Amino acid sequence: MENTKETCSDSQSCQKHARTSPGEKIYSHTDCGKTHSHCNKGTDAKNKCLVCGQDAKPFIIHNYVPILDRNPIVEMEDFVQSSGEHGVVVFTLGSMVRNITEERANVIASALAQIPQKDTLGPNTQLYKWIPQNDLLGHPKTKAIITHSGTNAIYEAIYHGVPMVGFPLFYDQAINIVHMKAKGAAVRLDFITMTSTDLLNALKTLINDPPYEDNSMRLSTIHHDQSVKPLD
């Protein structure tokens, strides 16, 4: 499957982007070698892509404008690169969930150990106390995210065009994943009742069915399409 997940985020003053020809608004990403249609939408190499949530009412809670640059993930790069052609799946429950039961942890670990993204728990799983979620989602090897469907995770997944498995836990998370599922960019599971097979099948669906990636990239393209930049 062709990987086109790297976005035009203009980190380090656009050192990794180069115009294909004078006057064009298409940028080639030197680290993944891909071009993306949203770069045709007037993205200026001198400006960062900012996300303004004022029109994104299904997901907005706080009035803030996050900067979604992707920075290098130096401490994780070797592990990510060792995934080969299968890429990686990001799993996170955000900052508010401190503990889950051993039974639920085993369900998740069992499913993750069976996907080919690497062959720790299962030898393909690496644990971290904290991960640079946005940077990982922007990595060209990232295939999917398993998320609690919090607002930040939703925005970052949309921005980088990453399909998601969501199991909402509280607050706005249920409606967030409902909207993403309706857009064809997510599979929803119930955290309490899901089995390892359910989670494994959801991941296989996201990774192997092209419409999920296509719909995620379409949302990313829309998200990047700004007639007036927030700083202008």
Q: Return the closest-CA partner of residue 219 out of 5, 1, 2.
A: 5
- The reply to whether the predicted model has a pTM over 0.85 is no
Residue 207, classed as helix, strand or coil, is: helix
Q: Which CATH number covers residue 84? A: 3.40.50.2000
- The DSSP letter of residue 55 is G
Contact 225, 210 (CB under 8 A): no
Domains of the chain: total: 1
Residue 85 DSSP label: G
**What is the span of the domain harbouring residue 197?**
74-219
- Residue 139 domain-assigned? yes
Q: Considering the domain boundaries, does residue 39 fall inside one? A: no
Q: Does residue 96 lie in a domain region?
A: yes
- Residue at 208 is within a domain: yes
- Whether residue 135 is contained in a domain is answered as yes
In the prediction, which pLDDT does 156 show?
Answer: 93
- Name the residue type at position 93: L
DSSP tag of 127:
-
Concatenated DSSP letters of 100-111: --HHHHHHHHHH
Asked if residue 231 is part of any domain, the answer here is no
Per the domain annotation, does 118 fall within a domain? Answer: yes
Q: What is the pLDDT of residue 90?
A: 84
Query: b or e along 80-109 (b: 16 or more beta carbons within 10 Å of the residue's beta carbon)?
Result: beebeeebbbbbbbeeeeeeeeeeeeebbb
Is residue 159 domain-resident?
yes
Q: Are 224 and 38 in contact (CB under 8 A)?
A: yes
Render each residue's pLDDT in the chain as its tens digit; 232 residues. 444 444 444 443 333 333 333 443 333 333 343 444 444 444 333 333 333 333 334 444 444 445 455 565 666 777 777 767 778 888 877 666 667 777 887 888 888 778 765 544 566 677 777 788 888 898 888 999 999 999 989 999 999 999 999 999 888 899 999 999 999 999 999 989 999 999 999 999 999 999 999 999 999 999 888 888 777 7
Burial class (CB in 10 A: 0-12, 13-18, 19+), 227: exposed
